[in-house]
Amino acid sequence: MHKGKLAVAQAAAELVQPDTILGVGSGSTVNLFIEALAARNIKLEGAVASSEASAKLLQQHGFDVLDLNMTGGLDLYIDGADEVNKEMHLIKGGGGALTREKIVAAASKHFICIVDNSKQVDVLGEFPLPVEVIPMARSYVAREIVKLGADPEFREAPRTDNGNQILDCVGFKIIDALTMENTINNIVGVVTVGLFAARPADQLLVGYEDGRVESSSR
Ligand code: 5RP
């Protein structure tokens, strides 16, 4: 495991205020973050999780998991990413939780993205772009993605938490992330594209192998 993941997870845990409702993302970095949060013995009013897996881990550590419909807007969301560029636009969804991640990010005032430095790129797209689709639209969406210049690969994985499927789109070089996000979102049958440009991160924490963590804000 990249040591920067643990460093950044621990640094993020220090930023969480007690007695708040926290938005919590998904993935291996976030799992370390949840563990670091529990190790701090911090008392939260509750957490809104972006996946069933994160909800389970939060509950195992004694945190109350709340329904976003009952909490209203959140002050803070903390989540990882598969790629991040200088504008803090992200590719997310390697773990398949992109739709709920986008919802919680949208509902949050401040979004801190936590990554190890291997995730920083100049141009998004080396990591295959995940697109969550309604199952019956899978082939149609795949053909539309081909027209946009990428090669969609069906992810052989259990359905997402929302009962849908994922196409991993290989070969995009994403210069204008906002336009690409809107274009793919407008294909009928797409639930969510894992590009976060309309709602980018507000703050980026980057962890390095030597344990250093750098923070920057938009
Ligand atoms: C899950 C995600 C994750 O944030 C992303 O895949 C990064 O995961 P990891 O922290 O395991 O590298 O978007 O859908």
> Which pLDDT tens digit goes with each residue over 106-122?
999 999 999 999 999 99
Ligand 1 lined by 207 (C-beta under 6 Å): no
- CB neighbours of residue 40 within 10 Å: 13
130 lines ligand 1 (CB under 6 A): no
| pTM score, whole prediction | 0.96
For residue 121, what is the DSSP state? -
Band (142; pLDDT cuts 50, 70, 90): very high
- State percent of the chain over pLDDT 90: 99
The question of whether 101 is a catalytic residue gets the answer yes
Ligand 1 centre from 10 Cα, in Å?
16
The alpha carbon of 115 and the centre of ligand 1 are apart by a number of angstroms equal to: 9
* Cα-to-centroid distance, 101 and ligand 1 (Å): 10
Ligand 1 site-directed mutation target among 5, 28, 99, most atoms within 8 Å of CB: 28
**23 Cα–ligand 1 center, Å:** 15
Which residues, including other chains, have CB under 8 Å from residue 22's CB and lie 6 or more apart? Answer: 16, 44, 46, 47, 48, 74, 76, 77, 78
Q: Mention every residue, 6+ apart, whose C-beta is less than 8 A from residue 21.
A: 44, 45, 46, 47, 48, 66, 71, 74, 75
Helix (H) or strand (E) holding 78: strand 74-79
Show the CA angle centred on residue 60, arms to residues 55 and 61, nearest 5°.
100
Residue tagged active-site, from 83, 101, 144, 181? 101
pLDDT value of residue 1: 84
pLDDT tens profile 58-85: 999 999 999 999 999 999 999 999 999 9
Query: Does residue 25's CB lie within 6 angstroms of at least one atom of ligand 1?
Result: yes
In this predicted structure, what is the pLDDT of residue 186?
A: 98
Q: Which residues pair with 153 in a beta bridge?
A: 168
pLDDT of residue 106: 98
Q: What is the number of the ligand 1 atom nearest to the C-alpha of 94? A: 6
**Mean pLDDT score, 193-209:** 98
Check pocket membership of 95 for ligand 1, CB cut-off 6 A: yes
Bridge partner list, 168: 130, 153
Contact 197, 125 (CB under 8 A): no
